[in-house]
Structure 1
């Protein structure tokens, strides 16, 4: 967290911004309160220079609708919005329930890799949500170390499309929007569209990162990472034995060789992520 800056908005509809929580390529997140100081929410406010782009607004609003459809379980409920599109030059923001948590990246940077049980709960919770997304024929494309939260009762997903997970987003001449994802898949590098199996590849990268503190194939400069993702087998020797085979299957080059989200969820936690996390002690002590 950090103090509000001079040019930060102070109000988002009924919400009053208190501090900055985090920044992403496309937005700034604020901790805010509603009608009472105890009524806390996370405001995700689009960067103004991007919000002016019609293409950005459409994607932002679409990802907000996806968050609405997924609310519950491992997705925080949305409380309000400034994304109705009524005014093309108006601010873009969403408000979601505040859950005290660290991002996966913050947790790894602070305390190192997660123990196997925590990786299982993390992966099962994400896979359960992916299964709901894929059941509609959609693709999430929202997974990254800074878009997954580790809360006391389990993980939370906070990004619901490429904008939320973008490593870089910028306005180009002519009003065009350029978005670069932090994690790509072999099929995307070959110029193909992302499909449900693409989410499973990224989940494999994310679980390997959670278990070891490093990301196979994807670390380093983007061009070198793309070459490794497309052509190199992942090095998983540091991944716990009981997780290595599953993560390796998620990282198969061919989409058809990857497991489904439902199969991953069941293999990681047959009783479900919530059942395995029962008791609230799924994360190591700080």
Structure 2
């Protein structure tokens, strides 16, 4: 009987030392069908294309990100980093292509069966520097340059040492008595909190008295704010007086320029023009009232 889950067949325990596990007992690998070529050093893995390629057999384009069941095999090493080969079968034809890792340049390389789409940006061709410079440039030995480098390093060390000493002194000053420093900070915080609490209570009383919204923020009552408020009040007062003066002047001009009706047959006696605009307005109103009560100009009815 086949063993599965946590069930072990009775004959499994007849020779436990020989089997060791259910996979060995059934003659199967833990990876199943993926390990069918494990004796050749090949493991079937899921491989995703890292770039766009053209298949060398059918010449069709295969986009980046397409996944294949690839035959993974170790073919070498770069120092202690292994180099793997992934052999995939094209899903559009029966051709095979192989891609290998390149630890030296941290990239993938198409070895056979396909052609990679060149989309890499070369910094050397655009005025930059090589990203992966594995071979150090040969620098000619210059004793004077080496001496200058040593002198600069010594000067930098002296400056850094002075800076470190100043930082050490500042650290010792601020951490010599942490209790007293903490007490000063907490005392100052309590005083500021007390002042803020009193100010908030005063603002709340003013808002309650004048029914102001809670979200309204009141300015601080200081000398500068009082002077600004007085200046603003004086400016508003002057603007109000100017508007009232212009309104009175305009009304006086309109009163003096009211046209008289020529349809009246009543003889109009000329009166001396009053010098006061209010008296002129009163006379004009009385005249219009008399004209409306006797439109034909006759003597008034008793």
Same fold (TM over 0.5): no
Select the structure that is richer in helix.
2
- Computing the radius of gyration from Cα coordinates, the structure with the larger value is 2
Q: Higher relative CO (CA 8 A, sep ≥ 6), structure 1 or 2?
A: 1
Which TM-score bucket, shorter chain as reference?
Answer: under 0.3
* TM-score, length of structure 1 as denominator length: 0.18
TM (norm. structure 2) is 0.18
